[in-house]
Amino acid sequence: MEPDSAEETGRAGAPSPGAGSRSALARAFSEVLLRLTGPEARRRSTRDAALKDLSALLEATECARLFERSDEPHHKMPETLGEVAKALEKYAAPPQEEGGGDNGYSGVAEKAAEVALLFLKLLRKVEAAKKSPSEVCPEWKTGLRHLAGPIYVFAITHSLERSWSSPGSRAVAGEVLALLLHVTDCGSVAGFLRGENEEEKGRFTVILGLLKPSLNKESWKNNPAVKHVFSWTLRQVTRPWLSQHLERILPPSLLISDDYQTENKILGVRCLHHIVLNVPVADLLQYNRAQVLYHAIFNHLYLPEHHLIEAVLLCLLDLFPVLEKAQHWKGDTARPTTHCDEVLQLILTHMEPEHRLLLRRTYARNLPAFVGRLGILSVRHLKRLERVIIGYLEVYDGPEEEARLKILETLKLLMQYTWPRIACRLVVLLKALLKLICDVARDRNLTPELVKNALLQEATGCLILLDHCSQGQVKGLLARIPLSCEDSTVVSCIRRVQQGSERAPYLGI
C-alpha cells in the first residue's frame, strides 16, 4: 500500500474528514481491489497482502466514512465495496476440478474462513451504521445493497456440505449468513430472496444476476459451486413469487439437466420439478414451455440410474396435470392417449426385463401413482401390467420387500379401476397371490415379522378384491384348501378371504 494512502487511512476516524481524505480512502479500497483482481492476483503473496490491508482498512475506518460518497465520480465507496465483495467471493470460490478428485479443493476451506472474517467485519460495520443516526451515516443502505448479493453467494457456497468445505468453513459461513439476514431485517433466507413484505422487492433478481455469467453453456462448469448455489436458492422461492422470474430460472435449469453427468441431471430435474410445482399452469403452457419441459425430462427415462429415474418420475407426475390442461376432449370420441400413457408404456417396457433391485424398487415405488393417475384408462395397459405384477410378485426383494408391497398396492388399485376386466384373469392372479402367501409363510430369511405381516395382509386384501371382481369365484376355489393345508398362516389368510367376501357386497368396488 502507498505510504500516503496508509497515512490518510490512519486518520479515517477523524470526525470531519475532508474531501481529500475521502478520496484517499476510496483509492485505498480501489488499490486492494486491483490487487485482488489484477494480473498480480495470481501470486499468493500479493493476495495475502491485499487481504491483510483490507482487514486493516476495515478495522481503522468508521462506518460513517466507510459508506460515504466521494465527490469524485470514480471513487464511490458503496459501489467500490460491492466490487471488493465480489472479488472476495470469487477468491474463495472452489476452482474447476479437472482430475475428478478433491485434491484441487484442499485450500478452499482455508480461503473461505479467511474471507468470512472479512465479511463479518463488513457486516458489523453495516450493523453499526444502522444503529447510528441517519445524518451520521446516510449511505449504509446503498452500501448494503451492493454487499448483500456477493456475501449471500459466498455464504451459501460454503454453507453447503460439499467436497470443498469443512466443518470449520461451514460454521463460519453460517455465521456470515446469519449476520447478513440480521442486518437486512430478514427472518429467513426465503424472506431475504423474495422480500419480507409486499412493499419490499427482495434480492432474488440480484442473486440471479450475479450467477448468470457463470450459468451459461460455456462457463457453468468453471465454478462447481454455482449449480448448487443456484439450485438451493431456487428452491427457497415458492409461489406466487417464482413466476415473475421464470425467464431467468428456466434456461439454467434445463442446461444443468441436459448434462452428461448423472449428478447434474438429477440436480437439474429437481430444479425443473420445483418450477413445475411453483409456477402457474398458464405460465407453463405459454410459449409451449410445458412441452419443452416434458421432452427434456422424458429422455432421462432411458438411463438406468435409479436416483435419476426417481427424480424424473416424481417430476413427470406433477407435470401431467399441466399438460392435460392443454388437451380438450369433447366426449364424442375415444379419449386420446396422454403423456401419462406414453410414460407408463415406457416404464412397463423397462420393468419387465429389469433385474437390478434398486431400479426394480424405484419403478415399483412409483407405479401406483401412475395407475391412480390414469384411473379407468389404465385398462389400456392391462396386459403389460398383469405381466409385470406377476413377475415382480415372484421375486424376493430383500428384508424390506418394498417392491412386492408396492406391486400389491398397484394390483389393488388396478382391480378397483378395471374390475370388469379382472374376472377373465382370475386364475392367473389367484395363482400368483397364493404362491406369494405360501412363499412368505415358509420364509425363513431375515425378513422382519412386521414386513411379513404387511405382505400377507396386502395379499389377502387383493384376494378379497379379486373375489368381488369375479362374483365370488375365489371363495369357491379356495373352499377345499383349509381341509388339506397344514400351514396355519396360509389357512388363516384363506379364512380372512372367506370372511371378508361374506361381509362385503361383490359390486362394492
* pLDDT at residue 198 tops 90: no
Question: Over the stretch 89-132, which tens digit does the pLDDT of each residue have?
Answer: 999 999 876 544 555 677 899 999 999 999 999 999 888 888 87
What is the predicted pLDDT for the residue at 5? Answer: 42
Whose grid coordinates read 432411458? Answer: 302
d(CA 257, CA 265): 4
Task: Indicate if 279 and 363 belong to the same structural domain.
Answer: no
Average pLDDT, the chain: 86
Q: Burial code of 259-294, b = ≥16 C-beta within 10 A, e = fewer? A: eeeeebbbbbbbbbbbbbebbeeebbeeeebbeebb
Enumerate helices (H) and strands (E) in the chain, giving the number of each. Answer: 25, 0
Longest CA pairwise span in the chain (Å): 106
> 14: pLDDT confidence band, cut at 50, 70 and 90?
very low
How does DSSP assign 321-338, residue by residue? HHHHHT----SSSPPPP-
Q: Residues, the chain, total?
A: 509
Q: Any idea which of 54-58, 299-303, 368-372 has the lowest mean pLDDT?
A: 54-58
Cell of 155: 455464504
Task: Say if 205 falls within a structural domain.
Answer: no
Mean pLDDT (whole number) for 205-214: 94
Task: Indicate if 419 and 480 belong to the same structural domain.
Answer: yes
Task: Indicate if 345 and 466 belong to the same structural domain.
Answer: yes
Task: Indicate if 116 and 79 belong to the same structural domain.
Answer: yes
Better pLDDT: 417 or 95: 417
> 238: pLDDT confidence band, cut at 50, 70 and 90?
very high
> 508: pLDDT confidence band, cut at 50, 70 and 90?
very low
Cell of 449: 415379522
Task: Indicate if 428 and 486 belong to the same structural domain.
Answer: yes
What is the predicted pLDDT for the residue at 80? Answer: 86
Task: Indicate if 432 and 301 belong to the same structural domain.
Answer: no
10 Å Cβ neighbour count for 88? 26
* pLDDT at residue 338 tops 70: yes
| Nearest alpha carbon to residue 360 among 384, 388, 399 | 388
Task: Say if 509 falls within a structural domain.
Answer: yes
Task: Indicate if 306 and 230 belong to the same structural domain.
Answer: yes
> 444: pLDDT confidence band, cut at 50, 70 and 90?
confident
Residue 78 near residue 67, CB atoms below 8 Å: yes
d(CA 204, CA 243): 12
* pLDDT at residue 36 tops 70: yes
DSSP secondary-structure letter at 288?
G
* pLDDT at residue 332 tops 70: no
What is the predicted pLDDT for the residue at 70? Answer: 56
Task: Say if 472 falls within a structural domain.
Answer: yes
Task: Indicate if 346 and 370 belong to the same structural domain.
Answer: yes
Cell of 452: 411379513
Of the chain, the percentage scoring pLDDT greater than 70 comes to 87
d(CA 464, CA 494): 10
Mean pLDDT (whole number) for 377-404: 94
Task: Say if 30 falls within a structural domain.
Answer: yes
DSSP secondary-structure letter at 94?
P
Cα angle for residues 112, 114, 118 (degrees, 5° grid)? 110
What is the predicted pLDDT for the residue at 484? Answer: 81
Task: Say if 284 falls within a structural domain.
Answer: yes
Task: Indicate if 51 and 115 belong to the same structural domain.
Answer: yes
d(CA 470, CA 475): 10
Question: Over the stretch 257-297, which tens digit does the pLDDT of each residue have?
Answer: 999 999 999 999 999 999 999 999 999 999 999 999 999 99
How does DSSP assign 25-59, residue by residue? HHHHHHHHHHHHHSGGGGSHHHHHHHHHHHHHHHH
> 411: pLDDT confidence band, cut at 50, 70 and 90?
very high
Name 204's Cβ contacts closer than 8 Å, sequence gap at least 6.
193, 194, 233, 237, 241, 245
pTM of the entire structure?
0.89
Task: Indicate if 494 and 370 belong to the same structural domain.
Answer: yes
How many Cα atoms within 13 Å fall on the side-chain side of residue 63? Answer: 24
d(CA 23, CA 69): 9
Mean pLDDT (whole number) for 445-452: 87
What is the predicted pLDDT for the residue at 4? Answer: 44
The three-class DSSP label of residue 235 is coil
What is the predicted pLDDT for the residue at 97? Answer: 62
The three-class DSSP label of residue 69 is strand
Task: Say if 101 falls within a structural domain.
Answer: no
Residue 214 near residue 226, CB atoms below 8 Å: yes
> 46: pLDDT confidence band, cut at 50, 70 and 90?
confident
Q: What range does the domain containing 317 cover?
A: 212-326
Per the structure, the count of domains in the chain is 3
What is the predicted pLDDT for the residue at 199? Answer: 65
d(CA 285, CA 319): 11
Q: Determine phi and psi for 55, rounding to 5 degrees.
A: -60, -45
> 33: pLDDT confidence band, cut at 50, 70 and 90?
confident
Residue 105 near residue 57, CB atoms below 8 Å: no
Cell of 35: 490487487
* pLDDT at residue 500 tops 80: no
Looking at 295, 326, 357, the residue that finishes a domain is: 326
* pLDDT at residue 37 tops 70: yes
Name 36's Cβ contacts closer than 8 Å, sequence gap at least 6.
47, 50, 51, 84, 87, 88, 91
What is the predicted pLDDT for the residue at 325? Answer: 85
| Nearest alpha carbon to residue 490 among 452, 448, 434 | 434
What is the predicted pLDDT for the residue at 17? Answer: 37
d(CA 394, CA 277): 37
What is the predicted pLDDT for the residue at 75? Answer: 54
| Nearest alpha carbon to residue 318 among 370, 359, 267, 363 | 370
Task: Indicate if 134 and 58 belong to the same structural domain.
Answer: yes
Residue 82 near residue 66, CB atoms below 8 Å: no
What is the predicted pLDDT for the residue at 258? Answer: 95
Of the chain, the percentage scoring pLDDT greater than 90 comes to 60
Mean pLDDT (whole number) for 73-84: 78
Residue 200 near residue 144, CB atoms below 8 Å: no
Better pLDDT: 15 or 460: 460
Task: Indicate if 50 and 76 belong to the same structural domain.
Answer: yes
CATH code for the domain in which residue 434 is found: 1.25.10
Task: Say if 206 falls within a structural domain.
Answer: no
CA dihedral (289, 293, 298, 303) in degrees, to 10, reads 150
Task: Say if 102 falls within a structural domain.
Answer: no
10 Å Cβ neighbour count for 505? 8
